[in-house]
Amino acid sequence: MNETSVTRAAQGSPKAHELEKTPPQAYYALGVLLAAYILSFIDRNVMAVLIGPIRQDLDISDFQYSLLHGFAFSMFYIVLGIPIARLADHGNRKWIVTVGIFFWSIMCCLCGMARTVAMLFVARIGVGVGEAALSPPAFSMLADLFPPAKQARAFAIYSLGVTLGGGLSAIVGGFVYQHFSTSGGAVLPLLGHVNAWQMTFVAVGAPGLIIVLLLAFIREPARRMDRDIATDTGSSLAETWRYLKLHKRIYTGVIGANAMLTVMTYGMLAWYIEFLIRTYGVERADAGMQFGLIIIIAGSLGALVIGWLVQPMVQRGTVDAPARMLLIVAALVFLPAVLGPLSPNPTLAVVLACAVMFLLSGFYGPGVTALQMITPNRMKAQVSALSLFFANLFGLALGPTIVASLTDFVFGDDAALRYSLAVLPLVLCPAAALLAWQALKPYRALVSRGPDT
């Protein structure tokens, strides 16, 4: 089994797809969607560098802060993902993305106008609602814009949004906060004086309106046909559910392993900066810069290198390479993820964080590719949304909160944050590896015959 067989599973003649050219619009769309994805992670994760000021001004605990960071954002982000994907399988994906970006950008700016916990909670919900409209339609658009042989690398490039956005949220957030903190905040029309952390939200939310303008130059792509489908209408929910049940071992393994690794990713993204500050006394702006560079450099390299390795592995006969990569990442990340927070000095903590972010940034693209390779075109957006549902339910909603709960309720000490971070991989890495391993055999069988059952 080689790459030709894999591409045949997506649509028709292998030679035709190997020779199929990628239109210039595909690369422009990929660039704009990547920019939107970067901005989405900046807007959702900028809170990680603002933990101390927000806790002080609003007088809240780590656990309460984690509800603002994770739960408030994710509660509708998770719930709306599947219906929005359903709409994307039938409607205009470009306009769904456009409306979503506009809405979350406005709501991110409103986070900076919040004066109470309740107001910030509602604004964070709004950010999540808008961001729910990005990835499922974007995955579907990219699958139609790029030929099957180039999709793995297109998804790997898109996945850079996680690392670039996560890193820039720390760097830009720290820089902007320091700037306004030095000047004592700012005065806005009608609102009066706002604190430095509030102005940080406004500064990172406003650029989304530029992305909205760039989307105007993208045409809605034509949908690719599955080899046995004569129309371009999306599948019904019942049909999608039957397909998932038929291949439940594969989807449970791939989606489950992805979710476990996502818990680690979001737990680290939410708390590693604060861990450096509390444990080693690193300045807030310096901690944001250090961790931001780790995410951008090590994380981006991981996303590209690990994503790029999938295609050569498939060509050499490892047809389950996208799913197998989840198992490999879970095994390799275990030790550095445990030892990093327990390091005796900040230098070692930062070095080990580089290894962790390299690996945790690399599973995302292969995980998406694994699902796209085994899922009929007519239900790809819905399946992508389902994967995001579980990844975000466990990762985004629970990842930051699990760490905070361990710190507040198990260890009972803010300084014990390092131990909370070290506990996560002890449980999650073995679980992710086991889930991915049990999916490999049926995955190979399904890829061999194609996702047309």
Which residues are paired to 192 by β-bridges? Answer: 188
Using a CB cutoff of 8 Å and minimum separation of 24, what contacts does 104-107 make?
A: 104/40, 104/43, 104/128, 104/129, 104/130, 104/131, 104/208, 105/39, 105/43, 105/130, 105/205, 105/206, 105/207, 105/208, 105/209, 105/211, 105/212, 106/130, 106/205, 107/205
pLDDT classification of 233: cutoffs 50, 70, 90: low
Closest among 119, 289, 240 to 191, alpha carbons compared: 119
Asked if pLDDT for residue 197 goes beyond 60, the answer is yes
Task: List pLDDT tens digits, range 414-443.
Answer: 999 999 999 999 999 999 999 999 999 999
Residue 449 CB coordination number (10 Å): 11
pLDDT of residue 452: 61
Provide the whole-model pTM: 0.78
Question: Quick one: average pLDDT of 264-273?
Answer: 92
Asked if pLDDT for residue 290 goes beyond 90, the answer is yes
pLDDT classification of 231: cutoffs 50, 70, 90: very low
Please give the Cα distance from 225 to 328 (Å, whole number): 33
Using the structure block, give the residue that is written with the tokens 């067989």. 5
pLDDT of residue 443: 93
Closest among 261, 176, 213, 175 to 35, alpha carbons compared: 213
Contact 436, 328 (CB under 8 A): no
Chain mean pLDDT for the chain: 87
What CA–CA distances, in Å, run from 155 to 7, 21, 227, 404?
A: 15, 17, 22, 32
Contact 260, 428 (CB under 8 A): yes
Asked if pLDDT for residue 453 goes beyond 80, the answer is no
In the chain, the N- to C-terminal Cα span, in Å, equals 19
DSSP three-state, residue 187: strand
Asked if pLDDT for residue 1 goes beyond 60, the answer is no
DSSP three-state, residue 375: coil
pLDDT of residue 164: 87
pLDDT of residue 402: 94
Asked if pLDDT for residue 228 goes beyond 70, the answer is no
Question: Quick one: average pLDDT of 251-277?
Answer: 93
Task: List pLDDT tens digits, range 141-193.
Answer: 998 898 877 887 888 788 778 778 989 999 999 999 999 988 888 887 877 78
Please give the Cα distance from 242 to 375 (Å, whole number): 12
Domains of the chain: 23-220+235-449 (1.20.1250.20)
pLDDT of residue 307: 80
If one compares 430 and 11, the residue with the highest pLDDT of the two is 430
Contact 400, 89 (CB under 8 A): no
From the number of C-beta atoms within 10 Å of its C-beta (0-12, 13-18, 19+), residue 29 rates as: buried
Q: Which two tokens stand for residue 33?
A: 């969607």
DSSP 20: P
Question: Quick one: average pLDDT of 385-395?
Answer: 81
pLDDT of residue 77: 85
Percent of the chain, pLDDT > 70? 92
Q: Which two tokens stand for residue 117?
A: 């916990």
What CA–CA distances, in Å, run from 236 to 86, 96, 201, 240, 242?
A: 8, 19, 39, 6, 10
Task: List pLDDT tens digits, range 299-332.
Answer: 889 888 888 888 788 888 888 999 999 999 999 9
| Phi, then psi, of 194 in degrees rounded to 5 | -130, 150
Please give the Cα distance from 377 to 229 (Å, whole number): 9
Task: List pLDDT tens digits, range 393-411.
Answer: 888 888 899 999 999 999 9
pLDDT of residue 234: 57
pLDDT of residue 20: 65
Alpha helices in 132-247 (DSSP H): 135-145, 148-158, 160-182, 196-205, 208-215, 237-246
pLDDT classification of 239: cutoffs 50, 70, 90: confident
pLDDT of residue 183: 86
Task: List pLDDT tens digits, range 55-112.
Answer: 999 999 999 999 999 889 988 888 887 788 778 878 899 999 999 999 999 999 999 9
Please give the Cα distance from 165 to 34 (Å, whole number): 10
Residue 453 CB coordination number (10 Å): 12
| Lowest mean pLDDT, pick from 92-96, 296-300, 384-388, 449-453 | 449-453
| Lowest mean pLDDT, pick from 25-34, 291-300, 303-312 | 303-312
What is the maximal distance between C-alpha atoms in the chain? 66
Asked if pLDDT for residue 232 goes beyond 50, the answer is no
DSSP 395: I
pLDDT of residue 14: 42
Using the structure block, give the residue that is written with the tokens 């034509």. 222
